[in-house]
Amino acid sequence: MKLFVIFLIIFNCTDSNAIIFRHDRDSTEYVKLAQEEQFNCVSRMFKIIKETDTLDKWEERPQKGDTLKPWCSCELISERYVLSAAHCFTNLLKKDTTYILDDGSKIETYNVTGEYILPANKFRFDFDGKMIEADTILLHPKYFSLDVEGQWKNYDVAIIKLKEPVTKIKFPILYNNNDEVGTKYIGVGWGHYGRAYDKELNYGKKLAGENIIDTIWNFRDGVPGTLGEDFDSPIDSNCNKLGDSKPLDLECTTTGGDSGGGLFIKKENQWFLAGVSPSGGVDIEQYEKTGYYCQSSYWVRISTIIDWLNQSIKNTK
């Protein structure tokens, strides 16, 4: 059974992907980047919230009665198949606690003591303005099987077969090489977003930002399963944990609550999907000192799961 802690700021909790960007930049620059054609494959999924469902205390019930609630980001990888984070499709059994920052802000923390997959008919995917129902949801088989802290992060990925094809959106090539380190990437997703020092974040726009893949982290049997990066500050060169301390023009990071967003890299004028955002967290001590700057985050590495992806598609056709 997995036991871990995820830190989530109460007012920006959701299971949707987010982009946290530089404090000296405006969100419009990140919105414009996300609107480029090669990122049309990134959309968002919705979860059906029934009136009888019990929600977490940081979640708002959208309206009375059954409704669709924005839930996670996702990427179309073929006409019938979508990638996202595995935990988007599970229900957590958890022990809640609360952490109070010096300024009175609340940080929600929890230990996950159990988890089970939800039925496919609870989810819809928005592509080209049309809601499409999930037919089959496959979580990586090792997502539930590892009980060593941290190992499950390599496998927080799911592949979803849609009930009908999406024909008007171009999908990316899955990256299958091992030379990602040092490459600039574009991270794309929906959800909460804001500047590096913001206490309260906004919600509901598709944003994209850039960063450098600084390292590859190992969590299982010496196999490098995640791509790592940090969020460099434009005003503090000491705020650096990995790679070069100089931030990119549209530097960004992911944070607690990010789920299912895509990491894209460009090689020889072709765009590849090289990573998927898993569940994330915030280093609370670092957050109190520098906001979101200096935080490090990671992405599930596509090249280490591509055999599973291809076999899953073959088995569900």
Q: Is the pLDDT of residue 150 over 50?
A: no
d(CA 309, CA 176): 12
List pLDDT tens digits, range 42-84.
999 999 887 666 666 556 666 676 788 888 999 999 999 999 9
Task: Give the type of residue at 303.
Answer: S
What confidence score (pLDDT) does residue 16 get? 46
Fold for 5-316, please state it: Thrombin, subunit H (2.40.10)
User: How many CB atoms are closer than 10 A to CB 97?
Assistant: 11
List pLDDT tens digits, range 30-44.
999 999 999 999 999
Q: Encoding tokens for residue 14?
A: 């959701």
What is the value of pTM for the model shown?
Answer: 0.86
Q: Where are the alpha helices (DSSP H) in the chain?
A: 27-34, 284-290, 306-316
Segments of 85-183 assigned E as strands: 90-100, 106-117, 123-127, 130-139, 158-162, 173-174
162, 133 contact by CB (below 8 A): yes
User: How many CB atoms are closer than 10 A to CB 165?
Assistant: 13
| Sequence-ordered list of residues with C-beta below 8 angstroms from that of 163, at least 6 positions apart, any chain | 132, 133, 134, 135
pLDDT band at 1 (very low <50, low <70, confident <90, very high): very low
List pLDDT tens digits, range 153-205.
678 899 999 999 999 999 999 999 989 999 999 999 987 889 999 888 888 88
Pairing of strands 130-139, 123-127: antiparallel
What confidence score (pLDDT) does residue 13 get? 37
List pLDDT tens digits, range 218-265.
665 566 788 999 999 999 888 888 888 899 999 999 865 568 999 999
Q: Mean per-residue pLDDT for 98-117?
A: 65
Q: State the burial class of residue 276 (Cβ atoms within 10 Å of its Cβ: 0-12, 13-18, 19+).
A: buried
Q: Is the pLDDT of residue 99 over 60?
A: yes
Rounded to 5, what percent of the chain is helix, strand, coil? 15, 40, 45
What confidence score (pLDDT) does residue 222 get? 64
Query: Got the DSSP string for 196-213?
Result: TT-SS-EEEEEEEEEEE-
Q: Encoding tokens for residue 60?
A: 């708002």
d(CA 78, CA 65): 34
Handedness of CA 202, 35, 140, 153 (dihedral sign): negative
What confidence score (pLDDT) does residue 14 get? 38
Q: Which of 282, 272, 252, 269 is nearest to 189 (CA)?
A: 252
Residue spans per domain, the chain: 5-316
